[in-house]
Amino acid sequence: MHISLAIALSLAILHGAVAKDLRSVSEPKIPAACTSLQGTGKEETAVIQKALSSCSKGKAVHLASGTFVSGPLTIPSGVSLWVDSGAVLKASTNPKDFDEGKNTCGTLDNDGKGCKPFITIKGATGTGIYGKGTIDGQGGQTMTGKGESWWQLARDAQTKKKKQNAPRLIQIENSKDITLYLITLKNSPNFHVASKSTNGFTAWGVTINTPGTARNTDGIDPMGSQNITIAHCNIATGDDNVAIKAGNAPTKHVSILNNKFGVGHGMSIGSEVNDGVSDVTVTTLTLDGTTNGLRIKSDKSRGGLVSGVTYTNVCMYNVKNPIVLNTQYSSSGGSHIPTFKGITFNNIKVLTAGTFTFDGISDSNPVEATLSNVHIKSGSKWVTSHAKISGKYAEDASGNSC
Ligand SMILES: *[C@@H]1O[C@H](CO)[C@@H](O)[C@H](O)[C@H]1NC(C)=O
């Protein structure tokens, strides 16, 4: 064993840190149905919400087949939604249905908080969304009463330096033991899944399939949450495939296992890490066609400590920036200084040339990383500044697919 690795491991043991979800997580099971509904293709918010609100705990509302169109839904504590194969649950395209009360949903402003999510799970324990069916956010469809789609609105926000008011697809908040299993999520107008202040969250066998051009459509974002497992998922989207954030509370004990990422901005931590991110394990991941691969990003307005992050068995193909540890992601100033240490790369294979960046704040606060068995393609760029890197990489990667 490498000496520095041995030291890192013994420090981890001393501190009692375990770099993974502390729960023992196994493949979820779909709960029994409390009721079964057939989609008519028409708007059915009230029907679905009534079924969810009257379903007994431990059971699921079963969307058996057909197309359902709905405005915002809330899944109560202990109750689940089961979208069966062939069934499609589509979000309404009418911004008025999602408006938070200020008549701003579907418009641009300075805070972008004017829309309710499509599906809300809040203050719940043991709630889930299951099944081989599809939840479609219809982000590319023209909004009712407007001349553009949610995604075009998000593009306008970028050029006009404003924020778009567009619904997230699934918002999980202040909850415990939440499960997403087998479901396909697509075309979210905004983030697909955000789990905020939630302890115990599993996404297993989930597919996210949204165009790479759809702005701000993060795949799965654990925020200020603990005991997280994201396993056997396929994620392609227009922003971070996964982004671990800690802007409101620490995020720790995260396991990202056996996943495949297509287009997107990669496996990210940040940019908000004020309250610290630690004990993260990313094992067996393929990234094909993402702009970034393994990225930790922050700046002085939202930095904090990111430590105990281990990436193992990662293969990348056609990734522009395979590894990015960037403490100066934007020029924003402030006193929240990013510190990245105990970042380990084990068995990494990058089959196409790209740019590798290790960019710390200062020599007294460098990014600290350990490399072991890192194989990259010749012709790659390796850029370091204020970085303490132990171990080596080899420019000997070959092969045409992961
Ligand atoms: C994480 O899971 C472990 C094991 O089940 C549990 O002891 C711990 O309390 C959980 N952490 C949180 C913050 O819920």
Average pLDDT over residues 127-145: 98
Q: Rounded to the nearest whole angstrom, what is the distance from the C-alpha of residue 200 to the centroid of ligand 1?
A: 8
Tens digit of each residue's pLDDT (9 = 90 or more) over 67-113? 999 999 999 999 999 999 999 999 999 999 999 999 999 999 999 99
Record the tokens describing residue 90, joined without a space.
């589509």
Look over the chain and give the mean of its residue pLDDT values, rounded to a whole number: 96
Among the options 265, 336, 375, 386, which is catalytic? 265
Mutation test residue for ligand 1: of 226, 228, 254, the one with most atoms within 8 Å of CB: 226
Q: Rounded to the nearest whole angstrom, what is the distance from the C-alpha of residue 108 to the centroid of ligand 1?
A: 40
Q: Rounded to the nearest whole angstrom, what is the distance from the C-alpha of residue 137 to the centroid of ligand 1?
A: 32
Which pLDDT score, from 0 to 100, does residue 125 have? 98
Nearest Cα residue to atom 14 of ligand 1 = 199
Tens digit of each residue's pLDDT (9 = 90 or more) over 152-191? 999 999 999 999 999 999 999 999 999 999 999 999 999 9
Which pLDDT score, from 0 to 100, does residue 6 have? 52
Distance CA 64, CA 156 (A): 38
Distance CA 333, CA 345 (A): 29
**Closest approach atom of ligand 1 to CA 176:** 14
Q: Rounded to the nearest whole angstrom, what is the distance from the C-alpha of residue 226 to the centroid of ligand 1?
A: 8
Residue 17 confidence class, pLDDT cut points 50, 70, 90 = low
Of 312, 324, 325, 332, give the one whose Cα is nearest residue 366. Answer: 325
Q: Rounded to the nearest whole angstrom, what is the distance from the C-alpha of residue 224 to the centroid of ligand 1?
A: 14
Residue 221 has pLDDT above 90, yes or no: yes
Residue 12 confidence class, pLDDT cut points 50, 70, 90 = very low
312 CB neighbour count, 10 Å cutoff: 17
Of 300, 311, 317, give the one whose Cα is nearest residue 361. Answer: 300
Tens digit of each residue's pLDDT (9 = 90 or more) over 342-388? 999 999 999 999 999 999 999 999 999 999 999 999 999 999 999 99
Nearest Cα residue to atom 5 of ligand 1 = 23
- Cβ < 6 A, ligand 1 pocket: 22-23, 199, 226-227, 253
Backbone angles phi, psi at 158, to 5 degrees: -65, -50
Does 253 participate in catalysis according to the annotation? Answer: no
Residue with tokens 């610290």: 276
Mutation test residue for ligand 1: of 199, 228, 254, the one with most atoms within 8 Å of CB: 199
pLDDT above 90 covers a percentage of the chain that reads 95
